Each structure stands twice: as C-alpha cells, then as structure tokens.
Structure 1
C-alpha cells in the first residue's frame, strides 16, 4: 500500500502555482500544464507530450522551457494513475483500459491544436510506448506532423524480462483482481548519472512505483504487441518518426528500439539516434542533456513544412 501523505503536503500539491485541472470527456479530472512561446518568439508548432511510468510532467520543465523558447508550444498532463492526477482522484497506478490512455492522448492533442500550425506528439519510456501505439492505431487520421519516442518501452532488457509463465498469471490477476496494486522499489541509479536528479527523484512525493495488476497487464501487452516483427510495418507511412535511446538503459532496451526502426522501412521519414554510455532519462544525462533536447527541437523544426523524405540512421 502507498505510504499515506501528510494532509498539509497533499493540500499544497493539489493547489500548484502553475497548471490547470482539466475535466476529460468521461469526467475524470487531470492535472495539465502548458509551456507557451515567449512574447516576441514566433510560434512554429505544438508538441503534446506523454510522460513516463510513475512520474509527472513537471520533471520536464527544463526541456519544455527550451522548446517553448524555440517556438514550440508544449502541452502535457499527469496521466491517469500518476502524479497530481492520481493524488486528486485517489487512483495511484490505476487505469480501466488501455484504450482510455489513448483516448486521453487524443483529447490532449485536441486541446493543444493551434489552427495552421503543425502538431507533434512525443513521449518518454511508458510515454514512448503510448505514443507509438497511438501512432499505430490512430495516427493515420490524427493530423500529426511527427512523433518522438525517447527510451520507449518497446522491450525490457533481457535480464529484467518477466518469465514466460508469468504472463498468463498476470492476465488472470488483472481479470480477477484488477484494482489490486503492487509497489516496486524505485532504483534512481538507472535513470541518470546525475546524482542531484537521483536525490530529487527519490524525495519527490509525486513519484510512485505503485501499479495495479490491470495497468501492469495492459502495459506489458502493449510492449508484446509493439515488439512483434510485423507491428512497425503497420505505422502510417507519411508520419515522420524519431527514436532516441541510451545504450546503458537498464529499464528499456535500446537494441529493441533500433530493431523497431529497422523494421519500419516503409516510413518516408524515420530516424534513430543512440547515445553511447547513457542511461534511461537522456534529458537528465549531464553529458548529453543539452544535445538531446536540441536534437528533438531541431528534428521538429526541420519538419514544420512536412516530412524529410529520406531515412537517416545516426549513432552517437
């Protein structure tokens, strides 16, 4: 069970100095925030971002501030089951269905649409899995100018994969005990080489390793589907795709991301960039964080007028 939070801290977290409470079509309330383009800067595009497992959107503040300064209007939200959204709804680690996660992406894209401006979709880790599955299932008609998936949860490293016999057991638990949660110990050392970020992560009251059996099952089923050889070939060919990953990622598997890229040969504009010696949160890695964010910004800026019709594979 999650550790109870002091009422004073909970009240403070539920009344943040920035951001808004947004009511979705099904009545669920989520915490959302935008990073507007500064006065005097031309707005060139929008980016809707999906955060990773157990975290929240304000961990990306430095990333989105840089993007806004480059003319990209950013919108993100704490997903169901995470961050302030979970705190308000008392729903830590809970979802009802994977389709609900994708519906939330569609609503966020609608909220973040600026007439006449291209719209990009991005996500990290679990968020990378979400945006790739959204691209697969709904991307053809979503009007996307491009998708960024960083450290996407396509595959887990071989040493941390669940044994084959555990999958049907998890499916059974998700069916008979869908809302029962388990809490995994958070190992901040796998995220980044930055010790300050590790300490912030461990001390962050909005970070949680709690997941319901139903959410865990939905996530793993999504990973299994994306890792199938035929899945990348079902992506809409005209939507540009950027994949980034670090070779020292112990949470998600960089070779799986490269394989996904290689299988998506039909895409008219696809790129993968692998950062040697870097861990899971590339945007927090001291050696490359500025380069990574610049890579995402440059990639979007080059595609505001449409796909770059060539396949590029870059290893860094």
Structure 2
C-alpha cells in the first residue's frame, strides 16, 4: 500500500489536510472519497484504507475545516466557520472531489460519509453528482424535528450572548450527551461509539477527537440537517444514483434504526431507484471501529465491486 498526506486548497484559501492511501502500482479499480464525522479526523480510517487497497481501491479523505490537522489552532477545533460553515465544508469536499477526478478520471468515484460526514455527503449529492458511481451513508440519521428546532433557538440565543466560537457544555450535553443514555452499562461518555472498548479508549486518548464543538458549529449542523430532507433538495439527486445505507441497529444517531429508515423512505419517495439498506444487530455508531468491523468492511467492498461490475 502507498500512502501520503498533502494539502488541497479549500474555500477561501483554507488548506485542507488530506490523506491518500492507494494500492501498490500506478493503477486502481476505483476511488473512495471519505467524509469523516464530527470531532474526529480522517487519519482514523487507516485500517479501512488498508482493506480497500488490498482489493485495488484508493481512498482519499480530508480533515474537515475545524477538524484534525486542518484546524489551524485549538480555538478552531470543531468550528466550521463564523458564517455559512456548513455549505463551505461541502464546497471543500467538492475541491477534493475535483482533484480526484482530475487524477483518476479513468476509474469510478464513490463517496463514503460517516455520521456528520454522511450529512455532508447528502448535501453534496444535492449539488454535485456528475462523475459519481455511488454513495455509502454510514451512521446517518434524520432531523429530530421539534427537538432540533428548539436546539437551534437555544444555540442562537447562546451565540448572541457569548459569540459563535464560544463553547457550551450545556448545549453539548443536550445534543451529544443524550446518545450515551441509550446504554445501561457504560464505562465512559463515549461508549455509544462502539462495543469495542479498545477503540473507545483510542478515541478518548486521541488529541484530535472528542472536543466540545462551538456554538456556531451546532447551529451549522442542526440547520444543515434540517434542510436535507426537504423535497425540493432531494429532487436534485439523480434517480439512478446507487446509495447504500449502513447502520448499527443500536446506533443512537440513527435513532436505533428509526431515523435511518425515515431517511431511506425520504430518498425513496423522492424517486431514487437504487437504494439499499443494511443494519448490523448489536452494533453502535462507528461501524468501521465495531467488533464486527471485518464483516462491515467486507460488505462495503462487495457493494463497491457490484457497482463496478454494472458499469462495465
């Protein structure tokens, strides 16, 4: 496997720290562009990259603005931007996508989004679908409705009082802290991520993971999520785009299946014809770091191979 990091110029000149993993040799069968989740970074996907490369796929993933090594200071961590951060993050992804298609125009490109990354990918395909062979949405969910409306109002009130870059532990507990409440036996505040205790510890001990987001970030996230399932936006997605939904059956972000099923039906109602949905019983949020990650990775690769075979 070959690997290196480099910079991609994002919106407004922001340098996006970007990872590349590729199979040995100069060619590959396909490319996966990955969008990571909230309060984590793209470097955590090395193990997934190794499995993809072993099957002839390359993987590109950038640290989103305000995340990982793209964040220029601790104050910027888990803060997208002072204005319009959600759409700017989607545009950053487009810059990487353009780079990939320039350098790998001869092979199919797939998008993989996890958690917040899945929400960003869902917005991405409403705006840019040219050249995409398929999309995988991992750990996605639905707009919680009234809860997010109330959350936005609370966050906006806090922003007026403290500023966009301030951090509110109260807001963090309201939005993120509730995820751990789904589980009776827990050792840490991050047990909702995985049943694998070693992976949870790695997350906790990673200096680029787990920071409390800014007030501005929460507003970006909740308002971005609220717009995703609007009929007019979903109608912008090509009906023949293959989309795979994968989720842990106990994932609180997906409402323990309910939110994922709701989103799946929104896609179906919008006219998308090539939808697949798979739940993994007992699994929690981070499927690629779960106790059954080998099964999950095998299923993803099988899906990618199937989509490539239909292109030939």
Does TM, scored on the shorter chain, surpass 0.5? Answer: yes
Q: Where does the alignment leave 5 or more consecutive residues of structure 1 unmatched? A: 1-16, 309-316
> Deviation digits for residues 280-316 of structure 1, max 9, x if unmatched?
0111111x211111111111111125579xxxxxxxx
Unaligned runs of 5+ in 2: 178-188
Which residue in the other structure is 2:185 paired with? none
Q: Deviations over 1:160-211 (max 9, x none)?
A: x847534323234446722223354772210111111111111111113322
With structure 1 as the length reference, what TM-score do the two structures score?
0.81
Report the CA distance shift for 1:194/1:293 in structure 2 as closer, same or farther (over 3 A).
Answer: same
Number of aligned residues: 285
- Say if 2:280 is the partner of 1:290: no
- Cα distance change on mapping 1:25 and 1:208 into 2, 3 Å: same
- What is the distance in 2 between the residues matched to 1:173 and 1:214? 9
Q: Distance in 1 between matches of 2:116 and 2:220?
A: 11
- Residue 127 (structure 1) aligns with: 117
1:38 match: 24
* TM-score normalised by L of structure 2: 0.82
Whether 1:235 aligns to 2:237 is yes
Which structure has greater helix proportion?
A: 2
Which secondary structure does the structure 2 equivalent of 1:145 belong to?
strand
Distance 1:57 1:233, change over 3 A: same
Q: For 1:247-299, what per-residue CA distance to the aligned partner results, in whole angstroms no more than 9, with x for missing partners?
A: 1112332211112212323223110101111100111111x211111111111
| Local SS of the residue matching 1:104 | helix
Instruction: Please say if residues 77 and 211 of structure 2, whose CA atoms lie closer than 8 Å, have aligned partners that are also in contact.
Output: no
How far did 1:92 drift? 1.1
Partner of 1:5: none
Task: Note the C-alpha offset of 1:37.
Answer: 1.4
Q: How far off is 1:137 after superposition?
A: 2.8
**1:11-34 deviation digits (Å, cap 9, x = unpaired):** xxxxxx952233335221221110
Contact 1:233/1:263, CA 8 A, preserved across alignment: no
Q: Which range moves more in the overlay, 293-302 or 90-99?
A: 90-99
| TM superposition outliers: structure 1 runs of 4+ over 6 Å | none
Which one of the candidate residues 105, 128, 134 is aligned to 2:93? 105
> What's the secondary structure of 1:237's corresponding residue?
coil
Structure 1 CA distance for aligned equivalents of residues 4 and 97 of structure 2: 20
Displacement of 1:233 after TM fit? 4.9
